[in-house]
Amino acid sequence: MSQPIVKSLTVYPLKSAAGIAINEMPIVSSGPQHDREWMVVDGNNNFVSQRTHPKMGQIQTQLTKDHLILNVPGMSALKIPKIHGNPETETVKIFGKETLANTVGETFDQWLSDYLGAKVRLVRSPSKPSRETSGNHGPKTEVLFPDGYPFLLTNDATLTELNKKLAKTILMNRFRPNIVIEGAPADAEDSWSSFMINGVPFLSVKACSRCSIINLDQETGTKNSDVTKTLKTYRTKDGHVVFGRNLSHQAEGVIRVGDPLDSIQ
């Protein structure tokens, strides 16, 4: 087997919105810098995602030195300061589990409410995060607002095999990975327990169970359940459709497109 390398890197500043392709990824204690740092919540303080609001996927994100910028067709861009300016915290919920968040401001809430057609609010992870992974799979790790773990890795060859079984080719962005690798056989990632990228040690803690978002075209928001139906025929674990690997990291550092995966176990 040739040595796998990093094909692409993506950060998702706003949970469930479009990601940003980057050539290098600073890795901090919580995972990729700025990944899932902001989140939308509803009137009950439950997180909002493409599961219930498919239009979330069409929110384009951009990070500048001072701002997170959101863009959608037909609306003025929304500039959100990166500096933590609001110390007010409140309790929000991700899959029913409570964590703390900072409110951001009514102007930002209104923009998102207007776009989504529902009363929602924008929140941000506190400068000192209050959330950890469950510890059920590997050691506990500090995280911001991901579903469960700080990283998701997918394999380009595994998608190629899936596309051979689908009537219409799909893109990797449906699976919303942080790290895509190439140069390994399809499904090879399923057997890895640990590896290094540019001196940063990673643990492959579990197969990623997939929700309905993988059936959404990220460019249009249209839904077709063929992806889940097809994966169910050959990629399941404990009754769940799986694709990709959840990772935790054991040190901070920087990884880049083109970096090889070393010390694969």
Q: What is the mean pLDDT of residues 81-100?
A: 90
SS3 category, 58: helix
pLDDT value, residue 87:
76
pLDDT value, residue 138:
83
- Residue range 153-175, pLDDT digits in tens: 999 999 999 999 999 999 999 99
Mean pLDDT computed over every residue of the chain: 96
- Residue range 16-27, pLDDT digits in tens: 999 999 999 999
On the question of pLDDT at 190 being above 60, the answer is yes
On the question of pLDDT at 1 being above 70, the answer is no
Alpha-carbon distance of 206 to 197, in angstroms, equals 18
H, E, C per residue of 128-180: CCCEECCCCCCCCCEECCCCCCCEEEEEHHHHHHHHHHCCCCCCHHHHCCCEE
* Range of the structural domain that residue 136 is part of: 5-262
pLDDT value, residue 223:
95
Q: How far is residue 178 from each of residues 67, 146, 205, 265, measured CA to CA in Å?
A: 21, 11, 15, 20
Alpha-carbon distance of 194 to 167, in angstroms, equals 34
Q: What is the CATH number of the domain that holds 32?
A: 2.40.33.20
What DSSP state is assigned to residue 48? -
Who contacts 69 (Cβ-Cβ below 8 Å, separation ≥6)?
Answer: 61, 62, 63, 77, 78, 79, 80
Helix (H) or strand (E) holding 111: helix 106-116
Q: What is the mean pLDDT of residues 219-240?
A: 95
pLDDT value, residue 247:
98
Q: What is the mean pLDDT of residues 199-205?
A: 97
What DSSP state is assigned to residue 66? S
- Ranges 53-57, 139-143, 251-255, 256-260: which has the least confidence: 139-143
- Residue range 91-120, pLDDT digits in tens: 999 999 999 999 999 999 999 999 999 999
pLDDT value, residue 202:
98
DSSP secondary structure string for all residues of 197-242? ETTEEEEEEEEEE--GGGGB-TTT--B-THHHHHHHTT-EETTEEE
SS3 category, 245: strand
Q: How many domains, in total, are found in the chain? A: 1
